[in-house]
Structure 1
């Protein structure tokens, strides 16, 4: 048997960046090999040097970086080997390889695409640089690749701009651009971070199919061991620029040797672990809630009703900008974002709200926070001073709502002002609502920062000097400043590393226990919700399709959409790989049929929630017997 040469051999690679008074070593004496036709996963937390390694190999790292070592690429088409690091970054040789023989998918497709050029122009540009095709041939090849990555109408997508596509569709277009020249090696830098689990599964299946068709190798850069278990043949674990452990996927998952690898695996929430068992992040957060609002102080001698927030028949529609003059084009042109949604949030519980992007979760959260107005429905907050109509509150009632309902946002970078130090960010709610004098406010800010595990020294720093997990802790501290009853958490951990995610989830559980908080926890990841929630509501196309106790939803789901979400969660185990047969079909198709007991979306007036007992409701036809669904 003839042994094929290594496609890419990296040896003694070092990448460092100059800083005031010295330098930061992002990659240290790194070595690994990629074989043709194989998926090699590079695993580690943010800041471990994974992306710096990928950029160094591609020759696109900043000019300030100091790079040494060897990265020998052997082109299967010609059999010639060349050290990529020895080539001038803008020379003819590296440009002939970059984009043609080695492609790269970047982590954030929105910032990777030019907003002023169409998708087709940007894909076609790769062919213009590397081939001698005519304009018509380039368009044909680009449309073929867009069709290959899953677009139903490639000709239409070719003429669209990036902002017209969803996150998952933009990532597909990015893959088309990286693969249009049929490269031998694809470097995929966090290709599914922050995507819905179902969209993530579609992207992973797409990469798997394309790898098989094109016979290419993939360097998969990720922090998600669940993704690695479903995709990788070989795994390299990286920490602070160095290799901690390397081997086949079976070696790493069945018999991990290094403590860091074991720590990454212990930080991932999964369905096999008991829900009461605490996640084990690599670095724990020490919570100190002394001096903050307590359970007794929150309720006092008042007999609190069981339901804290009641949502009844809430509906919200948006007019399309193409529907007519100024968006007023009649009901036929309106998009239903939230469709007759009803549920209760009980005092002291965590209600998980799950579903894909575009299902209406964030729109609903904005309605509850009065960021958007509902078309129809009722939202009632049951507070100490009596019930308040959330959708129509004014004056003192509105001021009370602002203190009792708070929100933790998905992106801590954009939700924190870059021009304000942490102490001003956290103190701002206290200033607005006139809580105490200046000295008391400053003391309260210090207690809030300590409560989320940050030191006093953090108060004078600006958000850019913190990691993603630390910024999210600052957002949580700000949300707690006014002593709220309910925290609405909109995807608070979707873009964080698994270890940082474990930190934040544990922190939120600790704060709930210490302060008697109530959470509406919005997420697309059912494994995370399984760890956090007491009850779960599953949202699809603007409607709650299933709601019930967490154990029931996770162990005995009834609605096919819930089953699909569960099947799309990647788990760090070779015994629980993603079933791409269940997750590969997009749920954005215009016609959705859920089996004989469910019904097409266009007939939604004939739908109702059927009680299966124990608070378990499922959306089905009005004439369906609950016994049929239970069976």
Structure 2
């Protein structure tokens, strides 16, 4: 599938085959893969989970497992030498170690697990300099702080001393980029560099990668499942499915005239803002929802005719946290309490899906944890009313609290860490029934089996452990666990952020079907506005701990008023070459952009929620009129 002369290619992969021996035979991870990366260009490798993308990146870096069996050639041209076959080099030999980190850098998919929790950011970023250069300790620190500043940290010296857990997801990803680029490699392998990042941080990371790549004339192999990212940064595109290249070519040809059915299927699985009302996503493989089994396992939510239409009412929530570094400081430094949630109020109507969007650190997940009683707010009230009378969520005790825990459930962002690796799927699903003493052991087994079959999984998987499932299957198990107690409200905290587009479409369709068939109510927390546009009836936008705008979905997505909402929408990468990102504006941080907001939206002007009609409210100066705000 690759063209061009070998001596002009920075990286050239020829007929690469990789297989792994497992119990019962061999798994072919890559089958005859050929592609190229040119100097100063970006080649995007696109495919869903399990297609072999990350395995290919590991092979280039020489980081493949010992059990991997391979054939073919991986030719890499360093600036001072002729092309060399990386595959022929010993996996842990001196030759590959001299290239890895020095001439080829890699950004790993999950920066939290890729960093050591025991060493500072500075020590880990500077390690490559210690291995590949003869610089002194002071010189390494100076170069490291310079690189940390280059990737966007305002105070590199402070970041140098911090540990990975003290940084947000976007900040850890920036530090990972600094670690990959510290030695000035000629090739960068970026394995899902923006997965699970909010749209504004994603846009900043893409802007950063694009600028560094152009400035250093660096080639990049971008491994991703996000076609919106591909459309905005790639020069060439390679589409892979089950270890085999399906289609390859210039980005214009791939998007304007896709040929293979698999690529066309990926494009139809992506939620976008131009979808018609009622239109469903079309995943490559849909999940069959067995409605008869579902209603046999779960009791649909009753809706009394005279019940209050508001299921959950939140008023005046406020939660502050002391900054850890100041909290641990010696010599009497004052602890500064910073608000994560600042006077948040909203209602969730019975049977609706309320989308809660905002960038990392805006307070979305903190609100979800407060509603689940995982955190205690400083002030505020939360009232739940399912038709049997209002319940004060934050002060409920005893039997009232036990009943409330059955009625409010949560689907977590990361199905790996939220499912116990020591419990089988059957035990995970029956645990809520055990805790609340519902049914007999036999009836619990029957209920969990029925629930698994209802969401498209075989009852035989009850005896398997979470590690043996794919990401999409684990998320379905997480959803099944949340449904076990027949809840009225489910809080979905970024339930599809780490899933590829096809599995994401499966999960979103499943959630919509469950809402329709069981009468569920959702609080859907996400940073992906296209996903929220597909799922939500109303949308609330959070920034700096406050809800800055709330409106019906079609109003907010088509006619946003607050500049922050407009910035979020502008930062969404479309899988369309005719609608490119404006890297000149989306690469700004929110703190930088907020300084240029109109005076009516400036945080220091005594802001209050203003009613614009039709359920549309925006946080603004009370002296501003509607026409001025919409301008």
Q: What TM-score comes out, normalization by structure 1 length?
A: 0.95
Select between 194-203 and 431-440 the one with higher mean Cα deviation: 431-440
Q: Kindly indicate whether the alpha-carbon contact (under 8 Å) linking 1:226 and 1:571 is maintained by their aligned counterparts in 2.
A: yes
1:111 aligned to 2:113?
yes
Q: What is the RMSD of the two structures over their aligned residues, measured on CA atoms?
A: 2.1
Distance in 2 between the 1:619 and 1:500 partners? Answer: 36
Q: Kindly indicate whether the alpha-carbon contact (under 8 Å) linking 1:275 and 1:531 is maintained by their aligned counterparts in 2.
A: no
SS in 1 for 2:599: coil
The size of the alignment, in residue pairs, is 625
Distance in 1 between the 2:608 and 2:10 partners? Answer: 57
Q: Kindly indicate whether the alpha-carbon contact (under 8 Å) linking 1:193 and 1:495 is maintained by their aligned counterparts in 2.
A: yes
Alignment match, 2:175: 173
**CA deviation profile, 1:386-438 (whole Å, cap 9, x unmatched):** 11111111122212211111111111111111111111111111122222223
Deviation at 1:490, TM superposition (A): 0.5
Deviation at 1:154, TM superposition (A): 1.9
1:15 aligned to 2:24?
no
Distance in 1 between the 2:563 and 2:491 partners? Answer: 27
Distance in 2 between the 1:259 and 1:368 partners? Answer: 44
| Superposition map of 1:376-415 within 5 A | 376-415=379-418
Distance in 2 between the 1:300 and 1:203 partners? Answer: 46
Deviation at 1:589, TM superposition (A): 5.7
Relative to 1, partners in 2 of residues 1:284 and 1:297: Cα closer, same or farther, differing over 3 Å?
Answer: closer
Alignment match, 2:29: 26
Deviation at 1:291, TM superposition (A): 5.3
1:498 aligned to 2:504?
no
Q: What TM-score comes out, normalization by structure 2 length?
A: 0.95
Alignment match, 1:161: 163
What stretches of structure 1 move > 3 A for 4+ residues in a row?
Answer: 291-297, 320-327, 329-332, 588-593
**CA deviation profile, 1:242-270 (whole Å, cap 9, x unmatched):** 10000010111110000110111111111
Relative to 1, partners in 2 of residues 1:57 and 1:159: Cα closer, same or farther, differing over 3 Å?
Answer: same
Relative to 1, partners in 2 of residues 1:498 and 1:296: Cα closer, same or farther, differing over 3 Å?
Answer: closer
Q: Kindly indicate whether the alpha-carbon contact (under 8 Å) linking 1:42 and 1:235 is maintained by their aligned counterparts in 2.
A: yes
1:215 aligned to 2:217?
yes
Distance in 2 between the 1:289 and 1:126 partners? Answer: 55
Gaps of 5+ in 1: none
Distance in 2 between the 1:496 and 1:480 partners? Answer: 21
1:67 aligned to 2:67?
no
Relative to 1, partners in 2 of residues 1:346 and 1:331: Cα closer, same or farther, differing over 3 Å?
Answer: farther
Distance in 1 between the 2:58 and 2:149 partners? Answer: 28
**CA deviation profile, 1:186-213 (whole Å, cap 9, x unmatched):** 1111111111111111111100000111
| Superposition map of 1:291-370 within 5 A | 292=294, 298-299=301-302, 303-323=306-326, 333-370=336-373
Q: Kindly indicate whether the alpha-carbon contact (under 8 Å) linking 2:293 and 2:453 is maintained by their aligned counterparts in 1.
A: no
Distance in 1 between the 2:393 and 2:128 partners? Answer: 53
SS in 1 for 2:176: helix
Deviation at 1:326, TM superposition (A): 11
Distance in 2 between the 1:565 and 1:523 partners? Answer: 12
| Superposition map of 1:20-169 within 5 A | 20-75=23-78, 77-169=79-171
Alignment match, 1:609: 609
Alignment match, 2:473: 470
Q: Kindly indicate whether the alpha-carbon contact (under 8 Å) linking 1:99 and 1:181 is maintained by their aligned counterparts in 2.
A: yes
Deviation at 1:133, TM superposition (A): 2.3
SS in 1 for 2:615: coil
Q: Kindly indicate whether the alpha-carbon contact (under 8 Å) linking 1:407 and 1:479 is maintained by their aligned counterparts in 2.
A: yes
Distance in 2 between the 1:214 and 1:247 partners? Answer: 24
